[in-house]
Structure 1
Amino acid sequence: MATAAVDSFDYVIVGAGAAGSVLANRLTEDGTTTVCVLEAGPPDRNPYIHIPAGFIKTLFDPACTWQFKTEPTERTGGRPISTTQGRTLGGSSSVNGMVYNRGQPDDFNSWAQRGNRGWGYADVLPYFRRTERRIGVADDSVRGRSGGIPVTDMDWIHPVSEAFIQGCVNAGIPRNPDYNSGSQAGVGYFQRAILKGRRVSAARGFLKPAMARRNLEVRTNARACGIVFEGRRAVGVRYLASRGGAPREVRARREVILSGGTANTARLLQVSGVGPAALLGRLGVPVVHELPGVGENFRDHYAVRLVMRAKPGVTTMNELSRGPRLGLQIARWATGRPSILALAPSQVHVFWRSDDAPGAPDLQCVFTPGSYKEGAVYVLDEYPGVTAGAWPHRPESKGHVRARSTDVFEDPVIQPNYLSDPMDRQVTLGGIRLVRRLLNTPELAPYLERETLPGPDVRADDELLDYAYRNGSTCYHLIGTARMGPASDPTAVVDDQLRVHGMEGLRVVDASVMPSMPSANTYATTLMIAEKASDMIRGRPAEEPAVLRADAA
Structure 2
Amino acid sequence: MSVPDRADFVVVGGGTTGCVVAARLSEDPAAQVLLLEAGSGYRSTVDLPGVLDDPYLLPVGPASEHTWTYPVELTPSRRATVSRGRTLGGSGAVNGAYFARATRTDFDLWPDSWSYEKVLPYFRKSETDHDFGGPYHGDNGPIPVRRRQLDDMHPFSSRFHDAALAAGFPEDADKNAPDSNGVGPVPLNISDHRRISTAVGYLLPAMGRRNLTVDVGVTVLRIVFSGTRAVGVDVLDGTALRRIRGRHIVVCSGAVATPLLLLTSGVGSADQLVAHDVPVVVDLPGVGQGFVDHPEVLLPYRYSVPEALRPQTPVLEMALNDADLEIRPYTASFTDLVPGIPQMDHGIGVVLMAPRSRGTVELDPKAPGGSPRIRYNYVDSAHDRRVLRRGIQIAEDLLETIAKTGMIRRPEIEYSDEWIESRLGTSLHMSGSCVMGSEFDPDAVVNDRCSVLGVEALSIVDTSIMPVIPTRGPHATAVMLAERASELVRDAARA
With the shorter chain as reference, the TM-score category is: over 0.9
In the alignment, the residues of structure 1 paired with residue 250 and residue 281 of structure 2 have an alpha-carbon distance, to the nearest angstrom, of 17
Q: Does 1:466 pair with 2:418? A: yes
Q: Secondary structure at the match of 2:163?
A: helix
In the alignment, the residues of structure 1 paired with residue 342 and residue 334 of structure 2 have an alpha-carbon distance, to the nearest angstrom, of 4
Q: When the two structures are aligned, how many residues end up with a matched partner? A: 484
Q: Does 1:124 pair with 2:124? A: no
The equivalent position to 1:203 in structure 2, one of 199, 212, 218, is 199
Q: 1:93 to 1:449 in 2, by over 3 A?
A: closer
Residue 377 of structure 1 and its aligned partner are, at CA, apart by 8.8
Partner of 1:90: 89
Structure 2 residue identity aligned to 1:505: A
Partner of 2:410: 451
In the alignment, the residues of structure 1 paired with residue 485 and residue 69 of structure 2 have an alpha-carbon distance, to the nearest angstrom, of 29
Contact 2:6 2:244 in 1 (8 A): yes
In the alignment, the residues of structure 2 paired with residue 406 and residue 504 of structure 1 have an alpha-carbon distance, to the nearest angstrom, of 32
Measured on the aligned residues, the alpha-carbon RMSD in Å equals: 2.3
* Residues 490-529 of structure 1 aligned to structure 2 (within 5 Å): 490-529=442-481
Contact 1:160 1:447 in 2 (8 A): no
Partner of 1:366: 328
Q: Secondary structure at the match of 1:24?
A: helix
Under a length normalisation based on structure 1, what TM-score does the superposition of the two structures give? 0.83
Residue 449 of structure 1 and its aligned partner are, at CA, apart by 4.4
In the alignment, the residues of structure 1 paired with residue 397 and residue 263 of structure 2 have an alpha-carbon distance, to the nearest angstrom, of 46
Q: Secondary structure at the match of 1:83?
A: strand
In the alignment, the residues of structure 1 paired with residue 282 and residue 367 of structure 2 have an alpha-carbon distance, to the nearest angstrom, of 20
Q: Secondary structure at the match of 1:287?
A: coil
Contact 2:315 2:331 in 1 (8 A): no
Q: Does 1:152 pair with 2:104? A: no
Residue 412 of structure 1 and its aligned partner are, at CA, apart by 1.2
The equivalent position to 2:377 in structure 1, one of 410, 417, 424, is 417
Q: Does 1:226 pair with 2:213? A: no
In the alignment, the residues of structure 2 paired with residue 532 and residue 489 of structure 1 have an alpha-carbon distance, to the nearest angstrom, of 23
Residue 408 of structure 1 and its aligned partner are, at CA, apart by 9.3
**1:228-265 Cα distance to aligned partner (Å, 9 max, x none):** 101000011111134xx332111112x10000001100
* Residues 383-422 of structure 1 aligned to structure 2 (within 5 Å): 386-405=346-365, 409-422=369-382
Q: Secondary structure at the match of 2:290?
A: coil
* Residues 317-328 of structure 1 aligned to structure 2 (within 5 Å): 319-320=308-309
Residue 58 of structure 1 and its aligned partner are, at CA, apart by 4.3
In the alignment, the residues of structure 2 paired with residue 218 and residue 341 of structure 1 have an alpha-carbon distance, to the nearest angstrom, of 33
Fraction of identical pairs, as percent: 35
In the alignment, the residues of structure 1 paired with residue 304 and residue 367 of structure 2 have an alpha-carbon distance, to the nearest angstrom, of 53
Structure 2 residue identity aligned to 1:403: L
The equivalent position to 2:180 in structure 1, one of 180, 184, 192, is 184
Structure 2 residue identity aligned to 1:470: S
Contact 2:313 2:331 in 1 (8 A): no
In the alignment, the residues of structure 2 paired with residue 82 and residue 152 of structure 1 have an alpha-carbon distance, to the nearest angstrom, of 31
Q: Which range moved further: 299-308 or 57-66?
A: 57-66
Partner of 2:431: 479
The equivalent position to 1:70 in structure 2, one of 53, 60, 72, is 72
Q: Secondary structure at the match of 1:191?
A: coil
In the alignment, the residues of structure 1 paired with residue 346 and residue 220 of structure 2 have an alpha-carbon distance, to the nearest angstrom, of 42
Partner of 2:38: 40
**1:203-239 Cα distance to aligned partner (Å, 9 max, x none):** 0011111111000001101111010101000011111
In the alignment, the residues of structure 2 paired with residue 406 and residue 538 of structure 1 have an alpha-carbon distance, to the nearest angstrom, of 39
In the alignment, the residues of structure 1 paired with residue 365 and residue 218 of structure 2 have an alpha-carbon distance, to the nearest angstrom, of 19
**1:359-410 Cα distance to aligned partner (Å, 9 max, x none):** xx1111100243457xx9986869xx75212111111110111122499943
Residue 343 of structure 1 and its aligned partner are, at CA, apart by 3.5
In the alignment, the residues of structure 2 paired with residue 445 and residue 16 of structure 1 have an alpha-carbon distance, to the nearest angstrom, of 48
Structure 1 residue identity aligned to 2:386: Q
Q: Secondary structure at the match of 1:309?
A: strand
In the alignment, the residues of structure 1 paired with residue 366 and residue 36 of structure 2 have an alpha-carbon distance, to the nearest angstrom, of 19
In the alignment, the residues of structure 2 paired with residue 184 and residue 406 of structure 1 have an alpha-carbon distance, to the nearest angstrom, of 45
In the alignment, the residues of structure 1 paired with residue 467 and residue 368 of structure 2 have an alpha-carbon distance, to the nearest angstrom, of 26
The equivalent position to 2:130 in structure 1, one of 117, 135, 141, is 135
Q: 1:432 to 1:227 in 2, by over 3 A?
A: same
In the alignment, the residues of structure 2 paired with residue 408 and residue 248 of structure 1 have an alpha-carbon distance, to the nearest angstrom, of 23
Structure 1 residue identity aligned to 2:273: L
In the alignment, the residues of structure 2 paired with residue 406 and residue 134 of structure 1 have an alpha-carbon distance, to the nearest angstrom, of 47
Under a length normalisation based on structure 2, what TM-score does the superposition of the two structures give? 0.93
In the alignment, the residues of structure 2 paired with residue 294 and residue 233 of structure 1 have an alpha-carbon distance, to the nearest angstrom, of 18
Contact 2:430 2:463 in 1 (8 A): yes
The structure with more strand, counted as a fraction of residues? 2
In the alignment, the residues of structure 1 paired with residue 486 and residue 157 of structure 2 have an alpha-carbon distance, to the nearest angstrom, of 40
Q: Does 1:250 pair with 2:210? A: no
Structure 1 residue identity aligned to 2:130: I
Q: 1:380 to 1:188 in 2, by over 3 A?
A: farther
Partner of 2:45: none
Structure 2 unaligned spans of 5+ = 43-47
Q: 1:489 to 1:406 in 2, by over 3 A?
A: farther
Q: Does 1:278 pair with 2:271? A: yes
